[in-house]
Chains A and B, each alone.
Chain A
C-alpha cells in the first residue's frame, strides 16, 4: 500500500484519497462475510442437533466432532491468559497449522468450536490469530471483540438487563434472581466511597480495552520473533497509557499512579480491592497480601520475581545485558523492553525471567495462588480485562519505573540538537469544530479557540453469543467523547530547498513543576508529515480524526455482514487509541493544559520518508509484521529523556524550551467537561417528577 509521494504535486492528500479508494474486491467481501460464521455460535449446528446433555463437554469424546478439531486436538484452555507462555505457545502452534489449511475448512472448524465454547477467551484468541495469519484472510476485517465475546467486556448485570429486555425469562438468565433486584450492580464497579471508582468509566472504556486486546494480538509474546522495535513500543505504549491515566487522575483530584511491584511495596498488602463484576473474573478484597507460595499459573513466586527484577536493574546500571553465551549486549530501550516483556527477543530469559507477564499472573491469582479453591482468576489474568483493574496501572508504573532507570542513563537531549534550522512555527491554536449534533446538545455559547470540550453519553452495543439464537442483544454503556476540533498553525520554511516536516503534537496538564518531573506526563496527540517547498509558508489544519494515535472507526459486525465494510482502509489489527478518549475529561470548571508542537526533519527521522502514513501508527507501528516502525527517532521523542539547555542544566519549563527553539510552539488550552448528555438525565428528572407527583397524590388523598 506504500505509494511514492509526488512532492511536486504536494500530493499527500491525493494519495490519501487513493488509499481510501482501495476497496476490498467483491470476492474478499464474500469471504469476509463467511468469516463471521466462525465468530457466531450456532444453535442449529449439525454436530449438535441431538443436543448435548449433562457432563462437561470434551471435543475428544464427541462422535460428530469436526475433523480439523480432531486432527489438531483443539480443546478449550480454561483460564486462558496471553501472559501464560504455555497458553500462547499452544495457540500459536495451532494457528500456524490452521493457516496452511483451506479457508473454508478453517471457518468450519471455528464455527464448530465457537458453538462448543461460545464465550471462551481461548477460542476467540485462537480464531483471531489464525485469521490474521491465514494468507487468504489477512486483509479481511474481523468483528470487534466486544461484540463476539461480550461477557469479557460488559458487566454481568448489564448483560442480564440486555437479555431480559429481549424477552428472556429472568429466571433462566440469572440462574439466581438475587442480583436481579440490585440496581447497584449496574452502577460503576465500586461503591461511592471507593475513590478509584471515579475513573472506572475510563478504565472500562471499550475502545481502550479493545486497543489493549488487539495490541497484544499483534505484538505477541512468544513464540513469534518480535516485531521491529517491539520492546521499545511495549514501553512507549504503556507509558502513554499511564500518562493519559495520570492526566485523568489529576483532573479528578487523585494523585498520580504509585508503582506496585517487587521492591515497590508488594510485600505489603495491596490497598486497592477491585470487583470487576464480570462473569469470568473474581473480585479482590482490599488489603490483600500476595502470598509467598508458588503460583500455579506463573509457576514462580514473588521472591523469584524480585530476583529477576534485581538482575535487570543491575544490567541497566552497568549498561549491558548478558546473553546466553555470556556475551555482553548493549542496553537499549528495545532490548530492555523485549527482555521485560520476555518475548522471543529477550536477551536471556533464563537470567532475566519473565517479569511483566508473571506479575500479571501473580496479581491475578493472589486470591488462590495454588488453585486449591477453584477460584476464577482476577481481571489481571486476561488481556481484554486487565486495564479495568486499578492495580494494572500500578503494576505498569512499576514496569515503567525500570524503563525510567534506563532513560536516566542516556545522554540528555541538548536544546540545539532538537532544532530544525530554517523551519519556524507560530500561531498555534485549537479550533473547535462542533457538528450539528453537538450544537443541539449545548445551550450555552462555546469558546471556539483553544478550548476542548468533553461530554459523556450512553452508547448501545449489539452483542452476540449471549443467547440461544444468533440474534444480537443490546447492551448499554457510558463513554466519554469530545467535540471535534482541529489544530491550526503557520509553518514557515526559510530554507531554499524542499523539506519534509514531521509535526509532533503533545498535550500536557499545566504545572509549575520542573519540566523533567513532568516529562512523562506528555500525551501524544498526533504526529504527521507535511512537505514544504523552499521558502513556502503554509497554514496547517489538522483534524482530530486524522490523528496518528487513534484507531480508525472499527467495522462493526453488522457492517461486515452487510458488506459495508470497505469504507475504511483500516488495519485489521484493530489496535489504536479510541478517538473518544483522545482528549482527557478535564474538569467542569475547566482544566488548564498546554499543547506543544515540535517540528523535525522527516527526511532524517523517517524510516522510509516517502511512505504515506495513515492509521494508528504511533502506538501500533504498521500492520505488516515485517515492516519497520516508521519513525526512527526514539519513541516519545523529544520527551524520551532529559532535555538540557546550553549550560547543560535541565530545561526549566516548557516556556524556555519553546523560547530556545523556533521549530516549536505552544499554546495554553482549557478542557471543560460538559457533563452527561444522556437520556439517563431525563430519566432521573422524570423519576423526580414522578416522586413529586406521588407526593402530591398522597397529599390529595390526605386532604380527601
Chain B
C-alpha cells in the first residue's frame, strides 16, 4: 500500500523535455515585435487588421486563411466569442507548430493588447500536440494593460531614462498623473477600497483568468466534475473574501442578482482604472434598460426578465430535486452528481442539462453587469471589468454576483441528506495534536526584530504587505540595457504575504495495517454568531489537502505552507523562459497565489480556528496510489479525473448532524469530540502593519536589476 509520490518539482504535468528552442519561439509569439516584416512597409501607422487581411502580400498566410481578426470587447462570458475561439483554435491545432507560431507573432504585433489574441494563443498552445507542455509566459507580464492600472503602466514608462515623459503626458490624460490613479482604485471614503489590495492581487486575478481557460465554457465538453468545481472554486473565493472583509470591519458579501435586489440601484460604483474598462458610477440602475446586448449570437439580447425566469426555473428544479433533460428524461440532483449537473447548467457549458430551459445564468450576469453603462451598445461606451475574466474579480460586484450564484448552490446543498458525524469517523485513526509552527526566514527574523514584534512561534500567523516588482512587456517601454526588440518596463505593486509556516500533525494509527490517509486542513474566522456550526460552514477556507501513508503506531507529520494543494507553484517568468536551460514547468497556471494563502487578519490579532480531518484515501482517492499534487484542490488535474472522490469542500459541503441524525452539530469543539480523526486549534492572525516596506522606488529598481544581473551570471 505504498503511496507513489510524484517528484516534488514536477507537479501534475508530465511534460516532455520541451526544447529551449521551441520555448523561445513560442515566447516570441507573445511579444510585440516592432521589427516584424509584415508591418515595415505600412504607409501610415494607422492600421486596421481588417484592411490588412485584404492585403495579399503582407498578411500572415495562416491568419489570412483562417480569417483571424481581433474581436473588440472580447469576453469569455459571451458564447459567440468562445465559439469563435474554438473554431480557430481547432484548426490551428492541426497546423504545423511553426505556422502557428508565425501566425501569433503576426497577430500579437498587429494587436498587442487584444484579450482575444491572448486567450486564443493560450488555448492553442496548451492544446497543440507539439506545445502541450511548453511553459507559457505569465499573463500579467504579457498583457500589462489588463492587469495593471493604466496610470501604473504609464508611470513605469515614464520612469525609464531616455523616454521623454512629456510625450507620455501629452498622449495621456493629465489626470493620469494624479495621485488618485496610483493609489488604490477608489477614493478614501469608499469603504470597499479597504480591500482593494486583495481584489487587485495579481496572483488572484491570474488564477481566475487561467481557471477560465482551463475550464472552458462551450463548445468544448466539460471536464470531469467541472460544474461542481465551478461551484466550489468560487465558493472558496467568497469564503476567503468574507474572511478578509471581516478582518477590515466590513460585513459579509451580500448577494446581488435576480430576486436579490438587482431591481434596485447597485450601491457600489467602481473605477478599475484599467485602460480597457469604463467606470461605473455609484447607484447605477440595472433596470433602467430591460434588454442587454450580448453579442452576435442568437438571440443577441437578453433581458432582466429572462434572467429572472431562468433563475426561477433553476430554483424550482432544485426544490423538486431534478432538472428536465428533455420531454421524457429527468436528471436527478442527487448527492453524487447533483452539484455537478447544477454547476454545469449554471455555467451553461456543454454539460448543461438543458440550456433552452435553464439559460445561461452565470455568464449573462457577467455580461449584463459589464454592460451596465451602455446596455444596447448605443454609445460605444467600453464595458466594465465584469466583462473580462482577467479583470472581473477587481470589481466588488463580482463577489456580490457570485454570492447570488452560490446562494443557488446553497439551496441545493440544503436539500441534500445530512452528513452524520458517525460517517465521518475513520476507525482506528486519531489525531493527537495539531499545530502551526512559524518558520521565518533569516530576512523575516531580522525584520521581525526591527519592527519589535514579539512573535509567537506556535499557532500564530503573521502577515504583512510587501512591494513586488514585475517586469512587463508589450507596453512599449524600453528599459535601460534591455532587449530593444522586446522592450520591457518594471511595475511595482503592493501585495500581502505571510511569514512561512508549517503544520505539525501527530496522528495515531491503531489499525494493524498501513493506511493511506488524506488530511484536509481548513481555516475559519472565530465568530460568536451562536447557533449551530452550519452558520459558519461556508466560511471554512481550504488551506491544504495531502496524502500520507501511516504505519501502525504514532507518526508526526510536517507539511510546509508552500506545498499546499490549493496554491500555484512558482511559474517561470518571461525571463526564465528566455534564458534558463533545462526543463521548466508547463502547468495550466491555475491555482491560488501563495501570498494570499493566509488572510490578512488584523493588527491587534484576529482569532480563528484551524481544523484538520483525516479520512481514508483508499476510499476517497480517485487513484489511491497517487496524492494531490499541484494545485489540484481548485484546479483538478490536467487530462485526468479530479483526484478526490468526496464532494468538494468535504466535510463542510453540507449540514453535519449529530449521531441522532437530526440535531445539527453545535460547535467546532463538539464536532472534533465526535470525530476523533479530526482536530481543531485556536489560532491568531496578526497583520504586521509596520513591516518595513518603504523601499525607495529607485533603490528597489536598482536592487532588482542587480539581482537580475547576479542571476544572469
In the complex, how many residues of chain B place their beta carbon closer than 8 angstroms to a beta carbon of chain A? 76
Distance of B493 from chain A, by nearest CB (Å): 16
Chain A, residues 664-680, CB within 8 Å of chain B (1/0): the string is 00000000000000000
Distance of B269 from chain A, by nearest CB (Å): 5
CB-based nearest A residue for B379: A275
Interface of B is mostly: loop
Stretch at the interface among A95-103, A232-240, A371-379: A371-379
Is B172 among interface residues, defined by CB-CB distance under 8 A? yes
Is B329 among interface residues, defined by CB-CB distance under 8 A? no
**Per a CB cutoff under 8 Å, which of A167, A176, A467 touches B45?**
A167
Alpha-carbon gap, A286 to B285, bound state (A): 10
Say whether B32 contacts A171, CB under 8 Å: yes
**Per a CB cutoff under 8 Å, which of A287, A375, A376 touches B288?**
A287
Chain A, residues 17-54, CB within 8 Å of chain B (1/0): the string is 00000000000000000000000010100001001111
Chain B hits for A118, CB < 8 A: 166, 169-170, 174
Is B125 among interface residues, defined by CB-CB distance under 8 A? no
Known: A177-B111, A690-B54. A163 touches B169 (CB 8 A): no
Is B18 among interface residues, defined by CB-CB distance under 8 A? no
Is A462 among interface residues, defined by CB-CB distance under 8 A? no
**From residue 142 to 173 of chain A, which have CB atoms closer than 8 A to chain B?**
160-161, 163-173
CB-based nearest A residue for B144: A176
Stretch at the interface among B276-284, B660-668, B671-679: B276-284
Known: A194-B379, A287-B288, A467-B167. A76 touches B174 (CB 8 A): yes
**Per a CB cutoff under 8 Å, which of B46, B112, B170, B372 touches A468?**
B170
Say whether B170 contacts A467, CB under 8 Å: yes
Stretch at the interface among B150-158, B450-458, B504-512, B614-622: B150-158
Say whether A56 contacts B178, CB under 8 Å: yes
Is A520 among interface residues, defined by CB-CB distance under 8 A? no
Say whether A286 contacts B54, CB under 8 Å: no
Is B326 among interface residues, defined by CB-CB distance under 8 A? no
**From residue 103 to 138 of chain A, which have CB atoms closer than 8 A to chain B?**
115, 117-120
CB-based nearest A residue for B189: A372
**Per a CB cutoff under 8 Å, which of A171, A273, A366, A369 touches B378?**
A273
Alpha-carbon gap, A119 to B186, bound state (A): 25
Chain A hits for B175, CB < 8 A: 78-79, 280, 376
Alpha-carbon gap, A176 to B118, bound state (A): 14
CB-based nearest A residue for B154: A175
Is A178 among interface residues, defined by CB-CB distance under 8 A? yes
Distance of B61 from chain A, by nearest CB (Å): 16
Is A663 among interface residues, defined by CB-CB distance under 8 A? no
Is B324 among interface residues, defined by CB-CB distance under 8 A? no
**From residue 258 to 302 of chain A, which have CB atoms closer than 8 A to chain B?**
269, 273-275, 277, 279-280, 282-283, 285-289, 291
Say whether A368 contacts B170, CB under 8 Å: no
Is B335 among interface residues, defined by CB-CB distance under 8 A? no
Say whether A269 contacts B47, CB under 8 Å: no
Query: How many pairs of residues, A versus B, come closer than 8 Å at their CB atoms?
Result: 221
Alpha-carbon gap, A55 to B182, bound state (A): 9
Distance of A690 from chain B, by nearest CB (Å): 7
Alpha-carbon gap, A55 to B183, bound state (A): 12
Chain B hits for A193, CB < 8 A: 376, 378
Say whether A366 contacts B281, CB under 8 Å: yes
**From residue 352 to 411 of chain A, which have CB atoms closer than 8 A to chain B?**
366-376
Is B165 among interface residues, defined by CB-CB distance under 8 A? yes
Chain A hits for B475, CB < 8 A: 171
Say whether B379 contacts A286, CB under 8 Å: yes
Say whether B269 contacts A285, CB under 8 Å: no
Is A517 among interface residues, defined by CB-CB distance under 8 A? no
Is B72 among interface residues, defined by CB-CB distance under 8 A? yes
**Per a CB cutoff under 8 Å, which of A41, A48, A167, A275 touches B381?**
A275
Is A254 among interface residues, defined by CB-CB distance under 8 A? no
Chain B hits for A41, CB < 8 A: 166, 170
Chain A hits for B380, CB < 8 A: 184-185, 190-191, 275, 277
Chain B hits for A467, CB < 8 A: 167, 170
Other than A291-B283, A373-B279, give 16 A-B pairs with Cβ distance below 8 A: A53-B158, A53-B165, A78-B178, A119-B170, A173-B171, A175-B150, A180-B47, A181-B114, A269-B288, A283-B278, A285-B374, A288-B285, A368-B269, A371-B187, A376-B173, A467-B167
The 9 closest A-B pairs by CB, nearest first: A164-B45, A287-B288, A367-B281, A171-B476, A275-B379, A373-B271, A468-B167, A176-B275, A285-B373
5 contacts between A and B (CB under 8 A): A194-B378, A275-B379, A286-B376, A288-B285, A467-B170
